[in-house]
Amino acid sequence: MTELEIRGGDIVNISIWLSIATYITASVTCFIAYLNYRSKKPNIKFEQINSRSSSVFKPDRVDTENPDVYWQDDYRAIFDVIISNRSEAPISIIEFTLNNKLVLNSYTQTGGKYTVTTDDGKEEINGLTAFSGVTKQMHFNVDNSILNPIVNIPAHSAVRGFLLFRTNDKKDIQSEKNILRIRTSRKIFKFYLKSYEYYESCLPLPDTVVKARNHKFL
């Protein structure tokens, strides 16, 4: 074998090893890029807290401003939830939509406290109204706890709070399966919610609200 042939073989071997090294480097680079993509891919975990705080209720209506400004809607649906951002990148929640109809966004004006009087302590005896002095009430203190968008969640962080929706038809909320869509800055996610309890106020609507509804004020 001549010296030229030996040198030619060495060059071929070096070329093969360079090709292998290039392939390995490219594979490692692609794998790292894939891991980076996976880590920054939008990924949130949603958890509903199973408690009476996940309820549908008809609150006491004081006037057209209290407990909130939506005097035309009788019912409220509230859910106690935890939302976790499992991505390496921050994410912002822009809007919540329940059953493709009820919306909670930055324009929603929620109240701070909702009271439901289920028993006003009155009873009729022989045509006369008697007052026992004992009332039964449910209180939903949600001040500063509503997840009103925009909700910013840093990477690998979580927020807990209430989702509050309003409707004038309680059939808009199901007991077992409600579809919740969460519109974020990066993706729309879909989850399911349950309502565990129902409470209804026994108090009549105040005259101001009755008059407003009769006149169909918007």
Quote the pTM value.
Answer: 0.79
The CB-side HSE value for 94 (13 A sphere, CA atoms) comes to 7
Buried b (16+ CB within 10 A) or exposed e, 66-84: bbbebbeebbbbbbbbebb
pLDDT tens track, the chain, 218 positions: 555 455 555 565 677 766 676 767 766 665 555 555 555 588 999 999 977 789 999 999 999 999 999 999 999 999 999 999 999 999 999 999 999 999 999 999 999 999 999 998 777 666 666 666 678 999 999 988 999 999 999 999 999 999 999 999 999 999 889 999 999 999 999 999 999 999 999 999 999 999 998 885 44
180 touches 172 (CB < 8 A): no
Question: In the numeric block, which tokens belong to residue 39?
Answer: 């880590």
Whether the CB-CB separation of 172 and 111 falls below 8 Å is answered with: no
Contact 202, 58 (CB under 8 A): no
